Amino acid sequence: MGSLVEQLRAALPALLADLETLVTCESPSSDLPAVARSADVVAELGSRLLGSAPEYVVVDGRTHLRWRLGDAPSRVLVLGHHDTVWPIGSLATHPFVIEDGVLRGPGCFDMKTGLVMAFHAIAALPSSSGVTLLVTGDEELGSPTSRALIEEEAAGCVAALVLEASADGALKLERKGVSTYEIRILGRASHAGLEPELGINASIEAAHQILAVSQLGDASLGTTVTPTSSTSGTTRNTVPAAAAFQVDGRAREVAEQLRVDEAMHALTPVLAGASLEILGGPNRPPLERKMSESLYLRASGLAADLGLEPLREISVGGGSDGNFTAGIGTPTLDGLGAVGGGAHADDEHVVVAEIAPRTALLTALIADLLDRP
C-alpha cells in the first residue's frame, strides 16, 4: 500500500494548486453571497476531480453540496464544510503562502485543506460507488440549516468520516456535546436612591442564578457549565427591571448533557417577585468514544500498512458535524483532515508534508469500508 502514498505525493503540486483556489475564494459563514460563490468554486473543483457534478441543496439561502457517487447504496459518508470564520478582506492581511513547508491562508486549516484532501482521496479510489460526499456551508454557525441534511445522509451508513483538521495529527475520538442557554430575569424597576426597596433587582437575581449555574458542572466527568456574556439594567440610578445571561454547556456523555438540561430548566427565582425564562438546550449531542473506537483501530492498521507513523488520539471540548452523525448512531471518525494548528487565529497553518500521507490514509480507509462489513 506504500505506492498509494507515493501516488499522492506525486499529486501534491496539483493538490496545493486546488487548495489555493479554495483558500483565495473567501467564504465567511455570515455572508450568503460569499458562501454561494464559494459553493460554485468547490462544485467546479469537485466535478473535475470526481467526474460528476454535485447536487446543490439550498436551505434558507445557504448553499450545501452533495455528491452521491455510483449506483450502490451509500455506505460511507465523507463530511466537510466550505464556510470559514474569516471576513471578506482577510486575504489582504493573511494571504495564501507556502514558506518552509508551512501553508497559510484564511480557512486553510479549518477546513479547506480537508476538502481538497477529500476530493483527491475519493478520486484515487478504484471505485467510489457507495460514497457520499457532503460539503456544508454553515458549520461555523453550528449547522442550523444543514443538521437535518447531515443526519439524513449519515443514516444507514457504515461510517461517517469527518475532514475537520487535526491539531498535531491526533484523530478525535471524543467530542463533547454542546448545549446553549439564555436565562432571562424579570424584576421591577424603582429609583435606586429614593426607594430601592420597592424594586426587584434583576442584577441581584442574575448573580444568584449565575452562581447556581456555575455549580452544575462535574469536573470528574468532564462536564462544564459556564456562564458567559450578560446584560443588566438601564441607568446608574435605576434598580434593574431586567437582566439576561448566556450559558455554554459541554458534556462527554449523553446522560450528563441531559442531566444538565434538566437542572437548567429547573432553576427557580431566589428573590420574591422575580421571574425566570430559560431558553435553549442541547445543540450538538456528544461524539462518544464508543462511536469512534472501532474506526480508529481500523485506521491505525491501515496506517501501519501504508508505512505511516502510528496514529494518535485525542478528546476535545469543541463540537463538529461529527457530533450529529454519531448522535444518530453512525460510527464516526473525526479529525481526518489537515495537520497543523491555529484554527480561527492569526497563526492558522497547515503542515504541507502531512497532506499526502493523510490523504492516502483517507483513501485506504474509504476503500476498506466499502470492501468489508
Annotated catalytic residue, options 139, 164, 288, 354 = 139
SS3 at position 16: helix
Query: ∠ at Cα 266 (264, 267), nearest 5°?
Result: 75
Cell of 203: 442584577
100 is annotated as an active-site residue: no
Q: How far is CA 307 from the centre of its chain?
A: 30
Contact criterion met (CB below 8 Å) for 68 and 75: no
Spatial separation of the C-alpha atoms in residues 192 and 236, rounded to whole Å: 8
31 is annotated as an active-site residue: no
Annotated catalytic residue, options 83, 153, 261, 321 = 83
Using CB atoms within 10 Å of the CB of residue 295, give its burial: 0 to 12 exposed, 13 to 18 middle, 19+ buried: buried
Other residues' Cβ atoms within 10 Å of the Cβ of residue 62:
20
Which residues are within 8 A (CB) of 331 and not within 5 positions of it... i.e. 6 or more apart?
158, 159, 160, 291, 292, 294, 295
From start to end of 202-262, where are the E strands? Answer: 224-232, 242-251
Phi, psi of 189 (to 5 degrees): -80, 150
Q: Please give the positions annotated as active site.
A: 83, 139
